[in-house]
Structure 1
Amino acid sequence: MTINITKPEVSDKSQDSEIVLSVNGVSKKFCRSLKRSLLYGVQDITSELLGSRTKSDKLRPNEFWALKDVSFELRRGESIGLVGKNGSGKTTLMRIIAGLIKPDTGFVKGVGRVAPLIALGAGFNPILTGRENIYANMSILGLSKKEIDEHFDEVVEFAEIGNAIDAPVQTYSSGMLARLGFSSAIHTNPDILLIDEVLSVGDAKFVAKCERRLHKLRENGTAYVIVSHHSPSILSACQSAVYLSHGEVIASGNAEKVVNQYEADLFNDGRTQASGVMFRDERTSDESPGLDIVSLFFRGNDDEILQALVSGKAVKLCIGIKSHQKIDNVNLRLAISELGGEGNSILYIGGSNDNKFFDLLPGKYEIQIHLPYLVLGPGTYSMYLFLRKDSFYTLDIVEPFIFTVNSNGKMIKSKVYQPRSWELVSIEAE
């Protein structure tokens, strides 16, 4: 599946000349058995040396596809996000793009210098000093000694290593190692930057400095491939995204749509999406206690019946009822819990608490509860609803009513939606 990313306004170069990364039908398999993996490795190396290795598109015993037929293109100055659960193949794909491992099928074509920000500091030699590791690390990334000499002071200053630069890196903290690795990579002025969950490399002040530098690189034409479980980071930095699951592309294209689908799957945890709509057969007056619930669903702003809700959107909870006789002081009580959770109510609404009682004559009605903002986060929920006369006499019950809430793209770390508005207020104009 090919990702078509909108080209920004650039010079009069042709569109194809702006493509800096092309991933074409890339697949990679691994073996679950260590002994078999070593055996297959020896067989593959031998076949490659003899020139007899054939296309490796079939699984051998105990093998599985870590990636299967992944394709996309990236142009200069653009960025694409990779999302998916742990084990979905994101890091494997990044390592293939970086040239650290070979694909079994397909190929990757890159233009210019590639700088992988993957497991920062992992390639440093612990017995060498920070200075020696900078030269070794940046030379691996393609810089000459002269170029490293020119950038050396900038690398040290950015990493905030100070006098520790001439101490063995085995004496460094993990944060110091990460900062030095990050600084070494970004000062190579790469054409393609691979970012794999590595922006938490220090305190908030240092992270902000890293983000400013990344923004400057992108303005100068550096293209990004970003892996992150933090959806806002993908949405703020990427035009497009690829959603991977078990090595296969589930969705691709517009970043917001892809992230929304990923979050929906993540929060629903593989459960089938609930319909969120219920209709009951009507009972006769002899079968009824006098008042029955005949329907239950949500409506949107256009009064359409919703199959699923969206966090933060306005909705109406609609309860259809049929009264067989005159009944006074009718009210509703409902409790909403996470499906599969501990059973504790997240949201409780009671007509008696809101002093909302209805006097009914025989006929059909729809009680509507208007929710200007749906505060529930993404997930699947169960609702228990009680139709009462006064505060204690129960007329009818719905237990449980299952419905789904989808993400609005801003809920990855929130269980509830907080309505808000923004305003810039001038305190003192010059």
Structure 2
Amino acid sequence: MMLNEIQDRQIDAQPENTDIVVSIENISKKFCRDLKKSLFYGVRDIATDLVGGRRKSDRLRKGEFWALKDVSFQLRRGEALGLVGANGAGKSTLLRIISGLIKPDTGCVRVRGRLAPLIALGAGFNPILTGRENVYANMSILGLSTKEINERFDAVVDFAEIEDAIDAPVQSYSSGMSARLGFASAIHTQPDILLIDEVLAVGDIKFKAKCYRRLHELNQQGVSFILVNHNTQAILNVCDSAVYLSKGQLVAFGDTGTILNQYEKDLFLEGRENTPGVLYLPKKLEHESLGLDLISIYFKSLEGDIVESIISGEPIIFCINFRAHKKFSDVNVHLKITELRKQGNPILFLSNKNDGKPFEAGIGEHEIQLKIPYLSLVPGAYTMSIKLKEGALGTLDLVESFKFTVKSDINMGISLINQQRSWEIASKQ
């Protein structure tokens, strides 16, 4: 069955609210990990359909698992929706069900309008055919006539920026070139709904920016799309709302910032929710110690209570407890904070040495307190490395990764920092 035929069948069952272009209703899909059993189940299901029998689609058979289970949400006209979740969460399976490439075992999908799926790197291209031939084949499958393709062909090639290779076989293209041509073909079908699955993860930065600008333009024109991208910053910048899937189940659906914060917290801080907000360090043996040993690390409020999550814009105290086995006259702390979802350059580096505040420490236990009157970090998940040094010498003790979350009581949008501020209006005489 051709893709446009599948779409026509779905479009016949239109949702009552014309503002809703995609309605996902209790979708479930199961797969079998065992190839032989999978083939056997497939043959048996076909035979059951042929004789008019009823499948037990809501039950798992031996070796099967739920790739999706009872997932429901809606996509509205002009809405940009991000689909997030770890590998194996069911994101690609869901997009394939929406596009009509596979059928759900239970539930139904209702689609209103022309749908353009871009859910594979090659965008369904035949590697033996040339780029030109693939554009015509691909766009015709998506419902365009030859006349319409002729009118848009030059615009497709111009957007993809592969004029020199358009008459070469696609098998000679790089992954970036294939993605460019696939994306260009999809957006020039004038779709009502776009499904985009990780294809923008390849290619150069300049072309990615070009694609996101075009997505914004299409969105302003009323085109809806669902975007899967492991770069959560891209989801945050582009999408109005988000769906969070975990192990085939819908965890949350709502505002993009809120959903991404929950996803990142689950992804990076799993298992820490029910433990005290203190990182305790194991006691070192005498031959392992360099004379100064970290004991514990935590945040606490101005009232002295230990806190697990800190609030953007609020005051906080960061505490480092250590034990000195001898006297130190120049103890220096180096803190490096990095956003977990980026894991690139640190966004904040703090050092008492740089601030001209060295510490002396005698034998015994001590607590260094870093008092922050206004936390400028935006909501998200972070990791901090902590190093204790003596003067300019080597590290005495360290913690490579102390993970923590930052929450907020206000909407930060796409800000990179929480700038302390106040607003007022003054009348001019």
Q: TM-score w.r.t. structure 1 length?
A: 0.70
What amino acid sits opposite 1:250 in the alignment?
Answer: V
Q: Which residue is 2:194 aligned to?
A: 193
- How far is the alpha carbon of 1:167 from its aligned partner? 2.5
1:332-386 residue CA offsets vs partner (Å, 9 max, x unmatched)? 9878899xxxxxxx99977998245699xxxxxx98531354889835779899x
In 1, Cα distance between equivalents of 2:251 and 2:85: 9
RMSD in angstroms over aligned alpha carbons? Answer: 4.4
The yes-or-no answer on 1:138 pairing with 2:145 is no
Pair 314,195 (structure 1): closer, same or farther in 2 beyond 3 Å:
farther
Q: Any unmatched runs of 5+ in structure 1?
A: 1-13, 279-294, 321-328, 339-345, 360-365, 386-398, 410-416, 423-430
Q: Which residue is 1:221 aligned to?
A: 222
Q: How does 1:46-125 map to 2 (within 5 A)?
A: 46-125=47-126
- How far is the alpha carbon of 1:54 from its aligned partner? 2.8
1:117-163 residue CA offsets vs partner (Å, 9 max, x unmatched)? 11132521122222211111011111122211221111122112214
Moved more, 302-311 or 376-385: 376-385
In 2, Cα distance between equivalents of 1:189 and 1:28: 30
Pair 333,82 (structure 1): closer, same or farther in 2 beyond 3 Å:
same
Partners of 2:212 and 2:238 within 8 A in 1? no
Q: Which residue is 1:165 aligned to?
A: 166
What amino acid sits opposite 2:160 in the alignment?
Answer: A
- How far is the alpha carbon of 1:57 from its aligned partner? 0.5
In 1, Cα distance between equivalents of 2:210 and 2:368: 54
In 2, Cα distance between equivalents of 1:335 and 1:201: 36
In 2, Cα distance between equivalents of 1:96 and 1:176: 26
Q: Which residue is 2:308 aligned to?
A: 307
The yes-or-no answer on 1:354 pairing with 2:357 is yes
How many residue pairs are counted as aligned between the two chains?
A: 360
In 1, Cα distance between equivalents of 2:307 and 2:265: 16
In 2, Cα distance between equivalents of 1:337 and 1:204: 27
Pair 375,16 (structure 1): closer, same or farther in 2 beyond 3 Å:
closer
In 1, Cα distance between equivalents of 2:298 and 2:165: 64
Partners of 2:331 and 2:358 within 8 A in 1? no
Q: Which residue is 2:287 aligned to?
A: none
The yes-or-no answer on 1:261 pairing with 2:247 is no
Pair 310,42 (structure 1): closer, same or farther in 2 beyond 3 Å:
farther
Q: How does 1:316-395 map to 2 (within 5 A)?
A: 316-317=317-318, 354-355=357-358, 368-371=369-372, 372-373=374-375, 378=381
Q: Which residue is 1:241 aligned to?
A: 242
In 1, Cα distance between equivalents of 2:88 and 2:241: 21
Partners of 2:27 and 2:107 within 8 A in 1? yes
Secondary structure (helix, strand or coil) at the match of 1:166 reads coil
Moved more, 53-62 or 194-203: 194-203
In 2, Cα distance between equivalents of 1:19 and 1:216: 20
Q: Which residue is 2:177 aligned to?
A: 176
- How far is the alpha carbon of 1:45 from its aligned partner? 1.5
Partners of 1:44 and 1:53 within 8 A in 2? no
Pair 356,418 (structure 1): closer, same or farther in 2 beyond 3 Å:
farther
Moved more, 311-320 or 194-203: 311-320
1:87-110 residue CA offsets vs partner (Å, 9 max, x unmatched)? 111111111111111110111101
- How far is the alpha carbon of 1:307 from its aligned partner? 2.8
Partners of 1:310 and 1:374 within 8 A in 2? no
- How far is the alpha carbon of 1:421 from its aligned partner? 6.7
What amino acid sits opposite 2:370 in the alignment?
Answer: I
Moved more, 30-39 or 132-141: 132-141
Q: Any unmatched runs of 5+ in structure 2?
A: 1-14, 280-295, 322-327, 338-347, 389-397, 409-414, 421-429
In 1, Cα distance between equivalents of 2:230 and 2:21: 25
Which is higher, the Rg of structure 1 or of structure 2?
A: 1
1:232-266 residue CA offsets vs partner (Å, 9 max, x unmatched)? 11111122211111101122212111101111121
What amino acid sits opposite 2:206 in the alignment?
Answer: K
Secondary structure (helix, strand or coil) at the match of 1:249 reads strand
Paired-residue identity, %: 55
Moved more, 374-383 or 50-59: 374-383
Pair 383,173 (structure 1): closer, same or farther in 2 beyond 3 Å:
closer
- How far is the alpha carbon of 1:172 from its aligned partner? 2.3
Moved more, 51-60 or 199-208: 199-208
Pair 160,29 (structure 1): closer, same or farther in 2 beyond 3 Å:
same
Pair 373,418 (structure 1): closer, same or farther in 2 beyond 3 Å:
farther
Secondary structure (helix, strand or coil) at the match of 2:127 reads coil
The yes-or-no answer on 1:36 pairing with 2:37 is yes
Q: Which residue is 1:25 aligned to?
A: 26
Partners of 2:377 and 2:406 within 8 A in 1? no
What amino acid sits opposite 1:116 in the alignment?
Answer: P
Secondary structure (helix, strand or coil) at the match of 1:202 reads coil
In 1, Cα distance between equivalents of 2:330 and 2:167: 75
